[in-house]
Every structure is written in C-alpha cells, then in structure tokens.
Structure 1
Amino acid sequence: MKHRRWIERVICAACGIFCALCFDVAGLAPFVWAALAPVFFLLLKNSGERRRVVFCACIFALAFTLAYYAQILSLDISARAGEASAALLVAAWIGLAALHGAVFAAALSAGVLLKCPCGMRALLCAVLFTGAEWLLGVGALGLPFLRLGLTQWRFLPLTQSAQMFGVLFISFLIVLVNVLIAQAVLGTGRGRMRYLAAAALVFFANLAGGILVSGGRAEEADTGIAAVQMNVPFWQNEGEGRFEKALALAEKEAGKRPDFILLPENSVYGSFNEEPEISSPVAKLAKESGAYVLTGVYGVHGYQLRNSVFLTAPDGKITDVYHKQRLVPFFENGYERKFSFTDGKERGIFETDCGMVGVMICFESLFPDIASETAAGGAELLVVATNDSWFKSDVPLARHLAQSVFRAQETGRWLVQVGNTGMTAIVSPTGEIAASLEAGTDGVLVGNVAFRREKTGYLILGDWWLAAAAAAAVLGLAAAYKKRI
C-alpha cells in the first residue's frame, strides 16, 4: 500500500513538472491536453479518501508552480536590488510560488471532493482550476503567469477562440479535456466511450473553429514600424551606453521614412521634458525620419519617479506621455527605495495622424484587462515597450512574447513588442508572428502593421463567460445536494 502511494506521489510531481515545461518547450506544449489526466485519474480514483486527495493535489500543484517560477533565478536580482536584498526577494518569490501552489491545490481538491453528478465533474474541475488562474492575476500581487492556455501560443489554430473568450478559456478547455480523459479511463463500457467522445468533441471543435478563423483573408498592413532592439543587458554595467546605441541603430533606419520608431522601456534615464541632452537627440531623430518616436524613460516627472513612454511627433515636439500603471511586485512598488515608482492613473492612448496607439509597459502586457481597456478606449494599434534584460536566460523573454500573442488575439489589434534584449516582434490580430528579431541580438525590426477599430467578442464580453460556467457548476452542485436530501 505504501509503495503504491509513493508511485502516486511521483506521478503527481512528474505531471506538475511536465506541465511547467510545456510553457517553454514547444515540442511538449501540445501534450498538455492530456498531461493532467494522470493526476485527475488518481484524484478521482481516491475521491473517497479526503487526505489522500489533498496530499496528491498539493504535490502536483507545488511541483507545477515551483518548477515554473524557477526561472526567477535567471534574473540578476543583486544587480538591481543589491546583495543584501537579493536573498529576501528570492525568498519572497519562492513564497509566492508556494502560495500559488496552495491555491491550485485547493481548486483541484475541491473539484474532486465536492459532490456533483458525474456528468458535471469535468465542468466543475475546469471552472475551479480556471477560477484559480483568474484569482492569481488580481490584486496588487497579481501574477497572471500560470495560465495553461499560454502553453499553446505557438499553435494558433488552438487559440483562436481567445478572440471571443480570452486566454482563460483555452485553460478551461485544457482542463475540461483532461478530466474527461481521466473519467474515460476510470469508466467502463458505454460510459467510457461517452467521456472519450466528449473530450474529442471539445478538442476538435476548438481546433476546427481555429482553423477556419486562421484561414481568413489577410488584411493589408501599410503603416511602417521600426522597433529598436539594442541588446545592452542591464546585468552588464547596468546597461551603460544603451541610449546611444539605440539612437545609432534608429538613425540608420531614418532614411527609410518609417511611420513609427519604437525605443524599448528604460532606453534612457532622466527627466525627458527638462533635460535637452536626452530629448533633443530624439527630436532630431523624429525630424530626420518624419516618424513618431516612442521612447521608454525612467525618470522624475512631476516630482515623482516614473516608468514612462514619451511620444515625440515628426516636428520634434513631445506631444504625449504614458506613465506605467501596473507596477511589478517587490521590484517597482516600494520594496527598494531607489526603484519605488509612482504609478500612472490613465491608460496609455496616443493620438497620431496614423491613428490611435495604445501603449503598455513591460509587466502590463500580462494583464488582459489592461490591453482590452486600452483597445476599448480607442487604441487601434498596441505597443508593448519592455526591458527584460535583467534576465540571463531567454526563457522569460519567450514567456513575455506569449502574453503579447494573446493580447493581440483578445483585442483584435496588431501589436508590436519592442525589447532591449528581446523579444522584439510584430504580432497580427490572429496571433501570428509577422516579423521578429532573435533574442540576444541587436538590430531594428522593420515591418508593417494596420490600425483596426473592430471589436472582438472578448472586448465586449471579457471574462464573464467564466461566471456563466461557474453558475452552471453551482446548479450541478445544487442538484446533487437536493438528490442527497
């Protein structure tokens, strides 16, 4: 008996690690549609033993979250916060990972232990797991990283339903299919075939719909973009020389007359409005190229330290600025005094002759509500200015781009992500990477985008579908309770 329980624990831990790897290893990502099935099989099989279920759920969830957040170790925290604070910050992130694991464990346990009709079990588990994903993205410490739907960002036919329901819906479908597979293995006769048929129907219906959407007529993109990736990592001499290199790269493209030149987050430090030695070169670049220049700036504006993007018009005048609203927990919101930023109060929407440009800075692109509210507020093109150069690994850079792919799908907008060391890319409204630069290289990404005003289903409905699914699950629970009485 003890031997069998050890095998169960190993299976749960292995599944958790495997699911975490699916975020980063493209060849593994499609298997996430069945990777949770062994865990749900064990949980459902042992549903009569509460402690055993909770223990197995905890093992899976902690293996999942800790394996995923291990990439925080590739962040050179000491370069930013100092040696004394680095250990505390790492401990804080590990603690946060454990907390996230506890939330997922609670969702898994509740999905298996709550009484409900067998036919409603998959719906209940999917609602609770997806609800946990949503919950972990809210509040000041919200970190919407661990969303299973993000694993599918390279497989666009499987993610097109995000245009209607968002990335959480892809997570919902993944969990739903996994539970149905587990129920099929546990079932017998016709019951087994029904569950298998239901799992296949969910998967292939989503796939077929995605293929139809992906095969639609491509629109003409006629607005020129030049996104600068200067590749000056901050863990080397604190990014010294990045502004000069960014300007030099941009000036090489000025003669091609792009409509927009984009410089990443924290391309320069200083008071952009008050220091001509910073703003004048950008004004000169704008005049020579005839382009709107977006510049990421760390600096004091209005007597407050801000993380901002400034818009310089083709005539060289600063016409608008956006101050970052969503600050990174532990790094920008007060833990380190010298990096304690003041948040902005309005969404970043710049008016240009080409159309309305919506701006997000780094961490903000992880939040669907920021992108959707920016698009709903009039933005016809989205820009993500980021500086992920604190990381010594390319894995977090790819994870960041995965978020941008879903923001483009959810809003139905072209999106340009411009990063210091990468990943710099142009993303179409269907999530296709239209053009990109390899991470860890320098250069200027040149391509075309289009300004779009159409509203996707997600812009209209948001995540309210999850509330409807939760209501259906509650009705199932109520029916089961009534039957017991």
Structure 2
Amino acid sequence: MLITRTRTAPENAATAMSWGISLALAVLSGFLIGASMPTLLDWGFLGWVGLAPVLIALNVQPPHRRFLVALPFGIVWSAMTHLWYPALFGVGMGIFLVAAVGAFYAGVLQAGMALQERLPEPLRILGMPVAWAALEFVRSVAPVVGDWWIELLAKSQWRFPPALQLLAITGVPGLSFLLMLANVAIALLILETWRQQRVHLPAVLALAGSALILGWGALSIPPAPDAQFRIAATVDLVNQDRAVQALSRLPVGQEGYYADTPEMSQAIFDTNATLTRQVAALRPAFVVWPENEFADADDPAFAAQVGALARELNAYLVVDMVWRTSEGMHDAAVLFGPDGNEVGRHAKINLTGDEQAFGFVPGPRDFQVFTTPYGNVGLGVCWDRHVPWITRELARAGAHVVLMPVDDDFYGNRWFPPLHAADSVLRAAENRVAFGLGATSGIAMVIDPYGRITAESAINQRGVVTGEAFTVPERTLYTRLGDWFGWSITGAMVIGLLWQGRGRAHHQQ
C-alpha cells in the first residue's frame, strides 16, 4: 500500500508566502487604511478593503510571528493618522507616541487572530471583528486611556452617510465591526481560493450582509424636508492672528485661552461680527461663533453688543465666553435670542489637561436644552463632541439641534481638524441631531441629523459658511440604550477568548 502525506493548507500557504511578502502586505495595509482616514487623503472607501492584505499575511504566519507582521501595519497607519502628534507633543515624543499607538493596533490584530482560532466554523469569521470593535471600545471608555486621542476605524466613513446610519443603532463599535467584517471576508475569500480552490461560504454571507446593511442605510436617509432652517458658522482665526494676540497681557503661548483685555475682546467681537454680517441677507436662524473665550459672560458691555447683533440679525447667536462661578472658571457656550436677551448657557464638560492646568474647571452635568421655534437646542463646547455621551445626554434631554463653539488650533496644524470634525458627524448620526459648529481655526460645519454635511469651511481659513438643517422628532436606539453594542461585543470577546471547545481543537489538528 502506497501511503502519501498531504501537507495541510496552512502549511502550504505559509511556505508559499515568505516572511518578506507578509511584511510587505502589512505595510500595504498600513498605507491603505492611513489613506482612508480624514487626516491626509480621506479616501474612505479604502476602509472596506485596506485591511485585507495584512489579514492574509496574519492567517498564513505562525502565532509567534503575528505581532511582528502586524507591527508595520500599525506604525504606518498610526503615522499617517496621527501626523499631528509631533506638532503637539514635540518631535521626539510625537514619534514615540506614533510608534506606541502602532504597537497597540498590532496587539489588537494579534488578539483578533487569537479569538478567531478559538471559534468553530462558521463563527471564526467573527473573531477579528469582535476583537477589534471590543478593544477599540474598551480603550475609549477606560479610565485614563479613554482621554488619549487614538483614532477609530469608523472615522474613515465620516463622509459616507449610508454607513453612518448604523451608528443610530450601535454607535461607533458597530461600524468598526462592520468594516472589519468586510475586510476579513475579503481576506478569507482570497485565502480559500488560493489554498483550497473553493469559495468560503461564511465570507460570501458576510459580504452580502454588509452590502445589505449599507443598502438599508442608503434607503433610510430621507430627502430633506421643506421645513428647513439655516445655520451660519464662522472661522475667525484669531488664535493665529498676531495683531489680535498682541492685545493680550498673558505670557506668550497662553494668549489663546481667553481674551484678558477689553481691546482683545473687542477685536475678536469685531472680527466675528464682520463675518456674520456677510451672511445676514441669507437670514440664518442660528449663528455659531468659535471657541475663543472672547469676554466675560457677565460683562454687561460685551453682552449688550452680542445681544444687539442678535437683534440686528433676528437670529439666535451662540458665542463662547468665560463664566465665573463659585465652583471656578468655566469655558461656556452662551445663547442669545433674536430679542437680544440671553437664553441660556452651558459650561464645557470635557476639558483638556492644558485647560485644567490653566485654571478652567469642568461644567456640571446638567444637560439643559432651550426651546426655539426651530426645535430644542443643546449647547456644548469643542471637546465635548469628542466623547459620545455628552451629545447623547443632550439628545436624551430633548435636544434636536446641538450648537458648539470649537477650537482646533494646534499651532496651525492642518491634519488634526478633519479628525475632530469627523467626531461631530458621528455624534449627529448617532443621535439624529443637527449640528452647527463655529471654529477658531480648523473647520466650521453644519450637519443634518443623518450625518450629511451641508456646509464646511476650508481648514485654517477665515470665513463664514451657511448650511441647511432640519430636525427629526424620534430618538434613536443608541440614544435610548447608549453603548449596549460596545458592552455586548466586549462580553462576546471575553467569552470567545475563554473558548476551549471543538473549534480550537479542530484548528490545532
């Protein structure tokens, strides 16, 4: 009897793919996913396919090599996505942080492969998407590291409304899961065709399901209704205006925290008032100025000027001011009505470390909304949009429109503002609220409740934009239940990593 030994498919594949080719595939994925992000090229379609090369390489390499294969992917993606790190932290620290975040991404891929190998067919295809979405989510909500600005795969889709509709159900983890699922399916289809000359049925079903979800997203976006209103938003660029900054008595480097002299306050007011009057003929319902802390909120002289401008425009005007209370100094958005009177104010909750070091304190978590003829309005300031829960709480309180003064001025860096702007798009789609954002630099925007950008300024360019918006009455599942999908997927990952059943044994055989 002639007995022959047939090499297994993984052995054949690993032999066929050299170490060098695996690393090249990892680097290719790093460039593709980096190109999908808002920072540089903003080619969001690559988010659906760009991870496939590195996933192919990981599937044909032994476990002890997987982190080293994934590391080039992580570093290249991190470098392209976090180009602004060196501008903010200095060259040395910036490069170190880029590499550290790259190592985190590589570790996430390694965890995904570990989970994939513990699951039985046909569930193995879910291993990497579950691990990726879960670890992204856990990192974003964990103490300390939750405040670190590490980008999410879902942000690659900020300009693709059909994909954004999933956020109304699952929040960001669901979209990251779907993106990774599509990439894994493509990788497995290629691998099965190469190794065994057959179609991988779970991969086909996963791609079909992804396409159906995108189709549902496209069909769920209605045409804009007739009952729309206009939001105007300014980019004043005062933090980069030397003439304005020279009016401050604060030490060099601290002039941008707030206007500390009447002359500086007046210059900032005049700049934004001039920009606002350029669109007065368009009769905006709301006007949003940037986060520039241009005056004390209880200074009667400047409050009177803002009120007079609101009356002149017959519009609601949101400005950013310093609000001093018994709890301390707040950075606050202040809403003035068409009658010139103050409607309400909201203190910034999510402060940066530098703001707290300068003396600002977080505002109370009392999510008040203000009634207008156009819908209930919630207020926030800048970094409040970076975390999902603040906008979610405003929506739960009844807000239909969220207006935020923002500041993206990291020393005039042009790579950071699109990433911060993407946060606003995600928050709008998650909660079905319209957004209006004025910016000191970066991007002023108007966004409708389905995540469609209706107005967008150039980066770091003084000007004013106007866009149409509308409101929707219903609250989304995500608004009502919060991070239910993120916690569920985290639980699924933990259960999967503890799996000791036939799926793992079958794979080892």
TM-score normalised per structure 1: 0.85
Give 1:445 deviation, angstroms.
2.6
Aligned twin of 1:80: none
Post-superposition CA distance 1:420-460 (Å, at most 9, x none): 23422211111112233333443333344334331112212
Map 1:337-356 → 2, pairs under 5 A:
339-354=358-373, 355-356=375-376
Does structure 1 residue 207 correspond to structure 2 residue 214?
yes
Report the 3-state secondary structure (helix = DSSP H, G, I; strand = E; otherwise coil) of the residue aligned with 1:394: coil
Aligned twin of 2:290: 264
Aligned twin of 1:4: 18
The higher radius of gyration belongs to: 2
* CA shift in 2, pair 1:276/1:129, >3 Å: same
Does structure 1 residue 136 correspond to structure 2 residue 139?
yes
2:231 to 225, 233, 237: 225
Does structure 1 residue 50 correspond to structure 2 residue 56?
no
* CA shift in 2, pair 1:440/1:469, >3 Å: closer
Report the 3-state secondary structure (helix = DSSP H, G, I; strand = E; otherwise coil) of the residue aligned with 1:431: coil
Aligned twin of 2:187: 182
Report the 3-state secondary structure (helix = DSSP H, G, I; strand = E; otherwise coil) of the residue aligned with 1:137: helix
Partner Cα distance (1:480, 1:235) in 2? 62
Partner Cα distance (2:345, 2:492) in 1? 45
Partner Cα distance (1:396, 1:360) in 2? 20
Report the 3-state secondary structure (helix = DSSP H, G, I; strand = E; otherwise coil) of the residue aligned with 2:177: helix
Aligned twin of 1:294: 318
Aligned twin of 2:426: 406
1:366 partner letter: H
1:415 to 418, 423, 435: 435
Give 1:478 deviation, angstroms.
5.6
Report the 3-state secondary structure (helix = DSSP H, G, I; strand = E; otherwise coil) of the residue aligned with 1:331: helix
Post-superposition CA distance 1:136-184 (Å, at most 9, x none): 3223442465211111122222322222222221111111111222222
Partner Cα distance (1:100, 1:131) in 2? 17
Does structure 1 residue 160 correspond to structure 2 residue 165?
yes
The runs of 5 or more residues in structure 2 that have no matched partner are: 1-14, 246-255, 257-263
Does structure 1 residue 304 correspond to structure 2 residue 340?
no
Report the 3-state secondary structure (helix = DSSP H, G, I; strand = E; otherwise coil) of the residue aligned with 1:308: strand
2:387 to 361, 367, 371: 367
Give 1:291 deviation, angstroms.
2.6
Report the 3-state secondary structure (helix = DSSP H, G, I; strand = E; otherwise coil) of the residue aligned with 1:385: strand
TM-score normalised per structure 2: 0.81
Give 1:303 deviation, angstroms.
6.7
1:28 to 23, 34, 43: 43
Partner Cα distance (1:266, 1:140) in 2? 27
Aligned twin of 1:82: none
**Paired residues of 2:406 and 2:437 also in contact (CA < 8 A):** yes
Give 1:201 deviation, angstroms.
0.8
Aligned twin of 2:252: none
Does structure 1 residue 284 correspond to structure 2 residue 308?
yes
Structure 1, 316-325 or 407-416: larger mean CA deviation = 316-325
**Paired residues of 2:231 and 2:468 also in contact (CA < 8 A):** yes
Partner Cα distance (2:398, 2:286) in 1? 18
Pairwise CA RMSD: 2.9
Report the 3-state secondary structure (helix = DSSP H, G, I; strand = E; otherwise coil) of the residue aligned with 2:356: coil
Give 1:322 deviation, angstroms.
1.2
Post-superposition CA distance 1:233-267 (Å, at most 9, x none): 43745476333210222245557654322211115
Does structure 1 residue 197 correspond to structure 2 residue 204?
yes
Give 1:27 deviation, angstroms.
6.4
* CA shift in 2, pair 1:347/1:253, >3 Å: farther
1:344 partner letter: G
1:259 partner letter: A
* CA shift in 2, pair 1:285/1:202, >3 Å: same
